[in-house]
Amino acid sequence: MSVPVTITVETPDGERVELTASEGAVLRDVLLDADITPHGRYARRLNCGGRGLCATCGVRLAEPPEADHWHDDLADRFGYPRLSCQLRVRDGMAVRLLDKRVWGSRERGGSAQR
């Protein structure tokens, strides 16, 4: 049986929303169920459907978990957003949605930058 957890989502316009979801649920699905899209404006209708292929559902996490997907490893290394379709919800998760056209932009400070 899944345990309900609370996650905090910050939208691109700075609004903070608290969501309750089942622990271990896919973050992309939780966001979409709450009518919050992690996709850029051009990818809301055309995306891979959560298969980890298009990289349009990228989000920033206050405390990202260990990378267990090849995209997450590259994202951490080069400062790119993590894919919400490859992240599982955990209690206290803080998510920042990005203002993007399709993909999220790179942030300085990835491990390759050090």
Evaluate if residue 37 carries a pLDDT over 60.
yes
With a cut of 80, say whether residue 111 has pLDDT above it: no
User: Which residues are 7's β-sheet partners?
Assistant: 19
pTM of the model: 0.80
Give the CATH architecture of domain 4-103. Roll (3.10)
pLDDT in tens, 47-104: 777 787 787 888 999 888 888 777 778 888 888 888 899 899 999 999 999 886 545 5
Domain spans, the chain: 4-103
Both ends of the chain: CA-CA distance in Å? 42
Model confidence pLDDT, tens digit, residues 67-80 = 877 777 888 888 88
Kind and range of the H or E run holding 22: strand 16-22
Query: Which has the closest alpha carbon to 23: 7, 9, 38, 42?
Result: 7
Instruction: Tell me how crowded residue 95 is: count the other CB atoms within 10 A of its CB.
Output: 24
